[in-house]
Chains A and B, each alone.
Chain A
C-alpha cells in the first residue's frame, strides 16, 4: 500500500475518491489550489432536487477524507513523465513521484459579463445563479433589494448553447437550478411574479420533472419559451427584458426588479493547464477527453491518469460522486495490476 496516489482538485469528486481510497487502505494526496475543500458545492446553499443543504454534503465528505495528505493553497508547477511514473512539482516546492494521477479539477462558471446584451456588471439589478446562491448563504448582496421584489426573471442558457459564447453545448444543470432558485425566491417573496425565459427545459434527472410541475402548480412560476434578446435599464433602475414569446409568436416585454442569469458550466482554465502539463487531450467541447465517452469516461488515454467529476463535462453532484467511486475502484484495480 505504499503506492502514491495524487488527486488534483479537492472538490467533491476529489474528496469522495480520497475517502474511498482511504477505506481501501491507501493514503492519497489531495492537491487543492484554493484555501478550502469542496470546490463549487461549498459555494451553493441547497441542492436540487431534495433541497439537501450543500454544507452537509461538503462537511461529511471532508470528514471522511480527513486522513488523506491534503495540501491547500497549492498548485501544480509542472508534471514530468519518467519511465514508468510521473514527477509532479508543487508550488510549495515539494515534488512527488507517482504512478497514479486522478484529475478532479472540475469546471468554471461561465463569465456572464461576456454576454454584454444582458448587462451583467453594468446594471445593478442583474446577477448570476452563483451570486444568488451566495445571497441565499449570506444574505449579502446590495443588488438584491429585499423590500420591493415585485417581479423577477431568470434567463436560461447564458453562455451555453451559444456559438457566439464559444460554448455550443448544454450545461445540463442550469434548467433545474433555475427551477430550484425560482421556487426559493417564491418562498421568500410569495407575491412576486417569477418568470423563466427558456429555449428548452431539460429536466433529465430523478424527480426533476416533479420539481418543475411543483414550480408551476404550487408556486405559480411562469415559464416563457423564448430567449431574452436584450436587457435595458429604466429611469428608476429596474430592468426591462425583451424576448419573443415563441409559443404565441409575439414579442414580449416585462419590467423586473431582479434578473438572474443562469451562467453555464465551462471547462476550467486550471483543468486545461493541468492537461497541457500532463499532455492530456482536450475534447471538442473544451473539457478533458476520456478514453471513451460511453464505455470508459473515467480513463484518460494516458497510462495511470484517471478522471472524475466535472473536468470531463457538466455533471450533477450524484453523477460526480458516482464517478469518483468508480475512479477509486479503477485506481485500486490498476495498482493491483502493477503488483
Chain B
C-alpha cells in the first residue's frame, strides 16, 4: 500500500551497539588514526573529492561510528596519490592508513 511517504530506518548512531573489533585491529597497526582532529585538510586537498565526494575525514569518522559500508564505499574513489599525507597537520601517514584500512576491512575492497 502506498501511503505517500516512506519510513526510512533511523540514522541515529547508537554507540552501545557499534562493533569496533575491526577498528581496534586497525588502531593496533595505525595508532595515529585517533589523533585525527577532523580538520578536513585531507578532504580539501584530495583530487578525488571534486568528482566523487571522497573525504578521508569522513572515512575515519565513519569507521569509528561503525559505518563501515559507507566508509569503504567512499574509499573506492581514492587514487592513493598521497596528497592528504602531505597536508595532515597531525602528521598522520594517511596514505599508509588507507592501505591498512583496505587490508583489514576489505577482502572485497579495491
Contacts and interface: CB of A to CB of B under 8 A. Distances in A.
Contacts of B13: 245, 248, 250-253
Given A213-B90, A217-B32, A220-B34, A248 B15 contact: no
Interface stretch (B44-52, B56-64, B79-87, B94-102): B56-64
Contacts of A247: 38, 57, 61
A253 B15 contact: yes
Given A216-B35, A217-B31, A250 B11 contact: yes
Contacts of B64: 222
Interface in A193-221: 193, 195, 213, 216-217, 220
Contacts of B57: 247
Contacts, number: 49
Contacts of A213: 35, 90
A251 B12 contact: yes
B32 A250 contact: no
Contact of B58 (A195, A216, A223, A248): A248
A255 interface: yes
A225 interface: yes
B14 interface: yes
A209 to B, nearest CB: 10
Interface string B10-48: 011111100000000001000110110110000000000
A220 B57 CA distance: 18
B32 to A, nearest CB: 7
Contacts of A252: 12-15, 65
B16 A255 contact: yes
Contacts of B58: 248
Among B31, B32, B34, B35, max chain A CB count under 10 A is at B34
26 contacts: A195-B15, A213-B35, A213-B90, A216-B35, A217-B34, A217-B35, A225-B38, A245-B13, A245-B65, A247-B38, A247-B61, A248-B13, A248-B58, A248-B65, A250-B11, A250-B12, A251-B11, A251-B12, A251-B13, A252-B15, A253-B13, A253-B14, A254-B14, A254-B15, A254-B16, A255-B16
Given A247-B38, A250-B13, 11 more contacts: A217-B34, A222-B64, A225-B38, A248-B13, A248-B67, A250-B12, A251-B12, A251-B13, A252-B12, A254-B16, A255-B16
